[in-house]
Amino acid sequence: MNVSKVVSNEVAKAVSAIFNEEISPDFFQIENTKADFVGDQTLVVFPLLRITKKSPEQSAELIGEWLVSNGEIFSQYNVVKGFLNLSLKTSFWINQFNSFLREENLGVVAKPSGKTFIVEYSSPNTNKPLHLGHLRNNFLGFSVAEILKANGHKVIKTQIINDRGIHICKSMLAWLKFGNGETPESSNLKGDHLIGKYYVAFDKEYKSQVADLIKRGISKQEAEKKAPILLEAQQLLLKWEEKDPEIYSLWEKMNSWVYDGFNQTYDLMGVDFDKLYYESDTFLLGKDVVYKGLEKGIFYEKEDGSIWCNLSEEKLDDKLLLRADGTSVYMTQDLGTAIERHKDFNAVSGMIYTVGNEQNHHFKVLFTILKKLGFDWADECHHLSYGMVELPEGRMKSREGTVVDADDLIQSVVNDAKQMTSERGHLEGMSIDDKEKLYRIIGKGGLKYYLLKVDPKKKMMFNPAESIDLNGNTGPFIQYCYARIQSLLIKQQSTENKVSSNLTLFNSELDLIKWILAYPSTIQEAAKQLSPSILANYTYQLVKYYNSFYQSISILSEQDKELKQFRILLSGCVGKVIKSSMRLLGIEVPKVM
């Protein structure tokens, strides 16, 4: 049961008895007591003054005194201005812990909420491999989806694959010019890596041509528009949109190479999708939407034939929807995708777009245009905006080939985990296969946790070495605690599943119980905020509490049978919560480490 609700019910009884006023428990504002003050739960008294007709301090004193004298769960109280801090008895916490032990799902909601959410993440371009930024995107989107599921919601995990556009044509053209028929098989490269190679090759040639034009006396701005290779790529795009058989066949072949490469990386990441959308399909749907909007007067056409949306009422700049030559822009396909998704999954409660914060304006405009088109469900669309992942040397640039490749990075942290774990020892008797599996669990777990522990809204600096550190707020630090608990449980399993409420506990034991009981509300808050970092940092704090308990109190050597059984139960429960919370982050926990 939610502790705040229990306290609210007791406060309602107190107010009824003291002031002869029946108030719904939902009325009371109950908070966790701040760390600087004594207490577990705090009642904010100010909203009650119209009933009590007394000062905040007097009101708090009367309620506190009644609760300690007449209630069965409060041990003491103190008043700080208009706040009543209440301390709960050890027996209360033990009883709550016993209830938690009986829960099979440990705070994960088993009953369906009836709500369906679509969570979009990854959504790569098919002209380059996935990189470090995609890792944060994928881990964030996948974890948000799992956290929403844990709150009882149905979730559709999806992505829009950006498989068309000028950037795709750049890779295609470079391959035609410089590739000599190279394939993933002939080059021994993953398909996405091969195509990324030609995207970089295009940029190199483009810059060379721009520099040559400038030497001939053409301005930089004009040279950037008239570089021959860029003009060829633009013509290739027009041919693609006209479905020229030769160009379309080449596009299908090169994209198939990329998809094979992507799927290998997704398997490595441990993420999946329920439904895929392709920009090559949805841009057509978007164009139909734009033309219908033009007919209805929602959009307008300029003299050059381009189609725009007037957003002056919303105090936004007008938005281009179709170019003068009839080709579409990103907004076109996003309109088509959103509408198609809503049709595919009727009664959607919300669509969540996991996209970097450089697209904040884009999504604001997208949701505004959907509203203008009459789709009220646009209010339920949400941009899960996250900060960029940066390196010490600055931002990554795909076209210049200065990205941190996702495959290489994952393998790097796995190798680092192997070196760290091998140096520590403790793996005697494990087979080579089991050891390799353990290195992957530690390396990938460290990487995921490092990218998820930061508030999504914040940009972050990535340091691979820190991600697999066994100390501090890291994935391996948490994984090691879980493994330690499994080792303890192998030595001694508890035969009981209930704790006596008469036990006298140390503060470190009470801290652990209180934090364990906060797990269900933490899952709810993480879903509300769409922030796995809330869950990650909750788990880190849980491990710190457990380590403090483990280092200061004897467990297996405890002579008191009831205390020993309790501490084993407590350890087992911590392990279950760690495993559950890390699963929601997409992270495995090893039994041995």
CATH number, domain with residue 28: 3.30.1360.70
Q: Is residue 299 part of a domain?
A: no
Hey, which bits of 235-377 come out as E strands?
275-278, 299-301, 307-309, 319-322, 350-356
3-state secondary structure of 405: strand
Please tell me whether residues 248 and 339 are part of one structural domain.
yes
Residue where one domain finishes, among candidates 374, 400, 426: 400
Counting the structural domains of the chain, the total is 3
- We report the CATH number of the domain holding residue 463 as 1.10.730.10
Q: Is residue 175 over pLDDT 80? A: yes
Ramachandran class of 49: left when φ > 0, alpha when ψ lies in -120 to 50, beta otherwise:
alpha
Residues paired with 156 in a beta bridge = 118
For the stretch 528-567, pLDDT in tens is 999 999 999 999 999 999 999 999 999 999 999 999 999 9
Please tell me whether residues 52 and 176 are part of one structural domain.
no
Please tell me whether residues 507 and 448 are part of one structural domain.
yes
Q: Is residue 280 part of a domain?
A: no
How crowded is residue 575: how many other Cβ atoms within 10 Å of its Cβ? Answer: 21
Please tell me whether residues 67 and 210 are part of one structural domain.
no
Please tell me whether residues 488 and 531 are part of one structural domain.
yes
Q: Is residue 556 part of a domain?
A: yes
Residue 118 phi/psi, 5° resolution? Answer: -100, 125
d(CA 244, CA 262) in angstroms, rounded, equals: 26
Per DSSP, helices labelled H in 151-244 are 166-178, 184-187, 191-215, 220-226, 228-241
Residue where one domain finishes, among candidates 385, 400, 415: 400
Give the confidence band of 295 by pLDDT, cuts at 50, 70, 90. Answer: very high
Residue where one domain finishes, among candidates 69, 88, 107: 88
- We report the CATH number of the domain holding residue 246 as 3.40.50.620
What residues contact residue 193 under an 8 Å CB cut-off, 6+ apart?
129, 261, 405, 407
Q: Is residue 592 part of a domain?
A: no
Give the confidence band of 402 by pLDDT, cuts at 50, 70, 90. Answer: low
d(CA 294, CA 290) in angstroms, rounded, equals: 6
Q: Is residue 93 part of a domain?
A: no
Please tell me whether residues 362 and 418 are part of one structural domain.
no
Beta strand pairing call for 41-44 and 299-301: unpaired
Q: Is residue 506 part of a domain?
A: yes
Please tell me whether residues 370 and 508 are part of one structural domain.
no
d(CA 550, CA 313) in angstroms, rounded, equals: 62
* Nearest C-alpha neighbor of 298 from the set 189, 412, 204, 375: 375
d(CA 586, CA 593) in angstroms, rounded, equals: 19
d(CA 196, CA 54) in angstroms, rounded, equals: 72
Q: Is residue 303 part of a domain?
A: no
Q: Is residue 219 part of a domain?
A: yes
Whether the CB-CB separation of 41 and 32 falls below 8 Å is answered with yes
**Average pLDDT estimate for 263-292:** 96
Please tell me whether residues 362 and 235 are part of one structural domain.
yes
Please tell me whether residues 243 and 180 are part of one structural domain.
yes
How high is the pLDDT of residue 399? 46
* Nearest C-alpha neighbor of 119 from the set 405, 451, 354: 354
For the stretch 245-264, pLDDT in tens is 999 999 999 999 999 999 99
Please tell me whether residues 392 and 413 are part of one structural domain.
no
Give the confidence band of 396 by pLDDT, cuts at 50, 70, 90. Answer: very low
Give me the chain's average pLDDT, please.
Answer: 93
Please tell me whether residues 82 and 157 are part of one structural domain.
no
Q: Is residue 31 over pLDDT 60? A: yes
Query: Is the pTM of the predicted complex or chain greater than 0.95?
Result: no
How high is the pLDDT of residue 520? 94
User: Domain of 78?
Assistant: 3-88
Please tell me whether residues 578 and 507 are part of one structural domain.
yes
